[in-house]
Structure 1
Amino acid sequence: MQYRILKILSFCVCMLPHKALLYIGKVLGILYFRCIAKERNRAIKQMRASLDNSESEAAELVKKSFINMGQSFLEILYTPRLNKANINDFVAPEGLEKVKNALAEGHGVVLLTGHVGNWEWLAASLAFNGMPTTTIVKPQPNSQHTRILNEYREMVGVEVFARGTSELLAAARALKKGKILGFLADQDAGPGGAFIKFLGRTASTPLGPAVFAHKFSSPVIPMFIVRRNDGKHRLIVGNVMRYKDSGNIDDDLLTFTREMTAFVEKVIRENPTQWLWFQKRWNTKPNEQKIKHHVSGRR
């Protein structure tokens, strides 16, 4: 039933001009900020702990992040309107040449990104600009939401590997075939993650990008999407990052993960209204760490 409701809503959204969609999304974001106290208060608390700003300053920034979230939600439902001919009207393609050059090396590309801006349209921009794009996705708590998200990802040409299946083997094959493998690297990684500083506090951080870069000699491209003042989007594309092998795999993975995490943190600090501050990024505590594979908590 929820899937059908979302599809009907998507059909209605697709009938609107983008500017109208942004206005409605702004209203939705403000309503969510005012009505959902649990997420609002968590976001303000976590922002203050990370950015050391006042409660009023944090509340204003969080409100803007909720507005961006509301607009991005409607844009995801607007995805059927995207195509090769119009994608660059919505997402400026500057910086994509770095990704193309990295792909030309023939080892695939590990794409480092996070829950910044409309990350679903980041993947759409890559795919519609002719770059083979894949991603490992975490199923949503609601299977109906997962269904429509994956349907729209595949609609724009993004290959999806769902966690809990044979996603690691599929991801490995994707890199071997010279494709892009995207990682949302700003999520809590649970007891098996690397416990390092993120926005000033120790957080369990995914080692996946470092592990795949090491195993397949793949270059890493940090890439994020943020909303411009006109409501459309621009890309933030960093320079190629590479795994450095000193012979100590634990230390090397940890060092590279720190380096990549520093870039993610920089993007968030420079664009605080674009990140999902209410996500449970610091949920797993350091005393819950379990060493798995090459995870190291040393230093």
Structure 2
Amino acid sequence: MAHKNSNISHFQRFFSYPLQGLFAHMFYWLFAALPIDTASAIGARIGRWIGPKLSVTRRARRNLERAFPEKTPEELQIIIGDMWDNLGRSIGEVPHIHKIEPGSDRLEVVGLANGLALKDDGKPGQFFTAHIGNWEVTTLVARIVGMEMMSVYRAPDNPWVDSIFNRARQGFRGEQVPKGPAGARKLTAFLKNGGHAAMLVDQKMNNGIAVPFFGRDAMTAPALAQFCLRYDTPLVPVRVERLQGAHFRMTFYPQMDIVETDDRHKDILTIMTDVNAIMEGWIRERPAQWLWLHRRWPD
């Protein structure tokens, strides 16, 4: 199996990564052999049992303390436990996502007309979302709106683990490209030719731009806004919520209002500030469904 990162050590390449990949594949096929509700419930139990004991939980707690200074330590601890529950469920559900039928009792779809409006407008378009609910459910967006799409994702450093997600995303209608210069070139050409893209835009980008998020500047990828202004692409927010167990709601929101001025840098900052505000609103409504483990802020 090819390795995209030439800087990894021999220990990682020949021992650590394959061992991690072996365990990841074992869990994948175990969860795949179970009904989705059972896999989700087992994932939740594992998440609640192991997650709070991991050192990365300290980062989640620190992020939560600064995002919600009004909440008590007990309230934050409940959110952390529920976050690990959601993450565990999401992992258990991964092998089953491509089998979910939109519009069934498993996946409620709201505001579909907002997504379909991009289909026949004769322009390229962009859908964006965050690591919230089970974000892998957003791989169904292209099938739901009936469009060929390109999705940009951050590939795991471990190529053995990456192969699992590629298998799980077999229901995606279109092409998935990893973040990086090659992926950016592909996406640019795709949008230039009238294509539609889907992006997760809530992660830190070290060489991005500083944009407010929960009252603090967070380094944010500007590509969504840059493509919007360059190719006149509508921006449609898409949110996935976990309702109960392995049941979800996907909401297509109305297109964002974009106002262009003579100051391109200001316009990019304005758009991404609005994008972050939309995602912050989702997270405040259901804080346990966001991935607080991200190193989203500089401190």
TM class by smaller structure: 0.7 to 0.9
Residue in 2 that maps onto 1:197: 212
- Report how far residue 4 of structure 1 moved: 5.1
Counterparts of residues 48-197 of structure 1 (less than 5 Å): 48-52=65-69, 53-79=71-97, 82=99, 86-89=101-104, 90-127=106-143, 129-190=145-206, 192-197=207-212
Which digits, 9 at most, give the CA deviation of each residue in 1:20-77, with x for residues without a partner? 12220110111123321x2222111111110121111111011101100000011113
Q: What amino acid does structure 1 have at the position aligned with 2:187?
A: A
TM-score (norm 2): 0.86
Residue in 1 that maps onto 2:29: 11
Which digits, 9 at most, give the CA deviation of each residue in 1:179-213, with x for residues without a partner? 331221111111x3221210111111111110011
- Report how far residue 79 of structure 1 moved: 3.5
Residue in 2 that maps onto 1:22: 40
Measure the CA separation in 2 of the matches of 1:113 and 1:54: 29
* Contact preservation (8 Å) 1:225, 1:236: yes
Compare 243-252 and 86-95 and name the one that shifted more: 86-95
Residue 246 of structure 1 pairs with residue 261 of structure 2: yes
TM-score (norm 1): 0.86
Which digits, 9 at most, give the CA deviation of each residue in 1:141-178, with x for residues without a partner? 21211122123224433411122352122112322444
Q: What amino acid does structure 2 have at the position aligned with 1:241?
A: M
Compare 238-247 and 174-183 and name the one that shifted more: 174-183
Residue in 2 that maps onto 1:47: 64
Residue in 1 that maps onto 2:252: 237
CA RMSD between the two structures: 2.0
Measure the CA separation in 2 of the matches of 1:67 and 1:92: 21
Partner-residue secondary structure (3-state), 2:249: strand
Measure the CA separation in 2 of the matches of 1:8 and 1:155: 21
Compare 166-175 and 208-217 and name the one that shifted more: 166-175
* Contact preservation (8 Å) 1:110, 1:219: yes
Which digits, 9 at most, give the CA deviation of each residue in 1:226-247, with x for residues without a partner? 1002531001322101432211
Cα distance, 1:102–1:112 mapped onto 2, change above 3 Å: same
Cα distance, 1:179–1:154 mapped onto 2, change above 3 Å: farther
- Report how far residue 129 of structure 1 moved: 5.0
* Contact preservation (8 Å) 2:37, 2:245: no
Measure the CA separation in 1 of the matches of 2:122 and 2:56: 43
Measure the CA separation in 1 of the matches of 2:146 and 2:292: 32
Unaligned runs of 5+ in 1: 286-299
Partner-residue secondary structure (3-state), 1:193: strand
Measure the CA separation in 1 of the matches of 2:50 and 2:24: 18
Q: What amino acid does structure 1 have at the position aligned with 2:35?
A: P
Q: What amino acid does structure 2 have at the position aligned with 1:22?
A: S
Measure the CA separation in 2 of the matches of 1:127 and 1:32: 35
Q: What amino acid does structure 1 have at the position aligned with 2:49?
A: L
Measure the CA separation in 2 of the matches of 1:259 and 1:125: 22
Measure the CA separation in 2 of the matches of 1:142 and 1:23: 26
- Report how far residue 261 of structure 1 moved: 1.2
* Contact preservation (8 Å) 1:128, 1:157: no
Q: What amino acid does structure 1 have at the position aligned with 2:81?
A: K
Residue in 1 that maps onto 2:14: none
Partner-residue secondary structure (3-state), 2:225: helix
Counterparts of residues 257-296 of structure 1 (less than 5 Å): 257-283=272-298
Cα distance, 1:128–1:8 mapped onto 2, change above 3 Å: farther
Partner-residue secondary structure (3-state), 1:147: helix
Number of aligned positions between the proteins? 279
Cα distance, 1:186–1:54 mapped onto 2, change above 3 Å: same
Q: What amino acid does structure 2 have at the position aligned with 1:223?
A: V
Measure the CA separation in 2 of the matches of 1:167 and 1:187: 17
